[in-house]
Chains A and B, each alone.
Chain A
């Protein structure tokens, strides 16, 4: 009798989304840059421009994902929001920083429709002040980047603790 296939290792990924040349739109990527070297070795850290279909490919096969993006919802710049997208969709109208038709909200729904959405999938959104070409992060967004970095790290530490307990 053939042996049971070996259990696949759990795959977890942290993805910073945005355009680093468009001011606060680079916030998600800035979080990932700060987290590099601080995450457990088996957790991938990636930067991405947010194009839906390649983001979908990046998430394929992941069991857990943290996605960090800038958004424009009208809230105070630097406001941080957390969405459990494994439970419900993102409010699409808040995630239109990109001028491209298919963005993060669509990538998540496409993954859900194709049954490829990681079973644990969390989005951290940082409210942007501006997406000016060539600008650096605005001060409230730069502070929010540090906060989100700490939150993601804390969530990962907690999840790892539970797994190893």
Chain B
């Protein structure tokens, strides 16, 4: 059999680096392998010996796109270990901060990375030449998220205001008023975004995913909840290791997470939405229905619509929090170090982010474990490719490559958390 390997260069418009190889024989997809070149688990090693109080600032540097997610999982795990609960306005402020990160990250992905796939542009720059108004709307939306990070997080990039027990500094009620005005405009833009992306042409593909996300008694999950699945799993974050495991894949230096029975699972917007539709605000639910989404969505290409619904929810929720906000008396509660193990799980824009720390009596970190969402989704990305590419083989190499890229981008893989540049290779034999 003659082998014809088509090397198609870097996969742009995902964060970081990686490589993808799709092998096709006699019209059938034999394999789809996503190899990720994970740098040594630098941060887990780097955290050992550092104080519990340094974890939020150190881990927030793992990713420039989702620093809040790392801070939140870290502080939750530390507070779990040290036996304190952050409640009231401090809890609300953390939720507000997380809304800012969702708005920022999702707006970037929808407008700059994923929409060009649906509209037939090579990237955001080409799209901007013809649709400057749309790109400006996306940038404006993202900026509203940045403003939340600047105000509550201390600065836009690598925010520094979050600490174990609360914050270093908290805003007064009046400080939030200008933000509320900006968020009202952002909410309008978000609603327009949902309507816009709902009109895209979606490949008719579905998979029976095992969805995994947090679930909270009353809120759409951001920084707290139990870990649940669409197959009935319902556990505390402390039980994560009893049900999930990370294994090395030969072709990759990264770890791939699976359920203990070997099944792949899906984290991120599609899972969150499908397991928590009833926790969305009425405005977000209504917009989702009007956009043609059912309360459960199994078509990964529609994840762009789900992200838009989550941006709308995050704007709505941020406004609700600001409206009810009363500054707390103290920016943080006291914490005392002790020897303990703590667990934290929060919903990064890309999905569940799990942290586990073991602390010595003086509060120094003896052991750190971090499972980012992209390593949890990796098996699922490969299965999507293997399952869907077969239906697209009539496409030219170039169009097939584009479709593969679009399929990977459904996940908004934050490859900088887990990998480096993604190269794509289609081997049709």
Contacts and interface: CB of A to CB of B under 8 A. Distances in A.
Interface in A42-67: 49, 51-54, 56-57
A106 interface: yes
A51 B17 CA distance: 16
A25 interface: no
Given A113-B129, A114-B135, A53 B108 contact: yes
A100 B63 CA distance: 10
A133 B113 CA distance: 27
B17 A99 contact: yes
Given A99-B416, A99-B420, A53 B157 contact: no
A53 B108 CA distance: 8
Nearest to A89: B125
A148 B146 CA distance: 31
Secondary structure at the B interface, as helix, strand, loop or mixed, is helix
Contact of A133 (B42, B125, B132): B42
Nearest to B17: A99
Interface residues of B, number: 33
Contacts of A52: 112
B142 interface: yes
A101 B12 contact: yes
Contacts of B393: none
A53 B12 CA distance: 16
B400 interface: no
Given A54-B156, A101-B14, A109 B416 contact: no
B128 A110 contact: yes
Interface residues of A, number: 19
B30 interface: no
Interface in B17-57: 17, 42
A47 to B, nearest CB: 10
A115 interface: yes
B13 interface: yes
A57 B65 CA distance: 17
A133 B39 CA distance: 11
A5 B416 CA distance: 47
B156 A100 contact: no
A56 B65 CA distance: 16
B143 interface: yes
B243 interface: no
B15 interface: yes
Interface in A89-120: 99-102, 106, 109-110, 113-115
Contact of A100 (B16, B136, B143): B16
B373 to A, nearest CB: 17
Given A110-B124, A133-B42, A54 B13 contact: no
A21 interface: yes
A101 B13 contact: yes
Contact of A49 (B17, B123, B157, B416): B157
Cβ-closest 3 pairs across A and B: A113-B128, A113-B129, A109-B125
Interface of A: 21, 49, 51-54, 56-57, 99-102, 106, 109-110, 113-115, 133
Interface of B: 12-17, 42, 61, 64-65, 108, 112-113, 123-126, 128-129, 132, 135-136, 139, 142-143, 146, 156-158, 415-416, 420-421
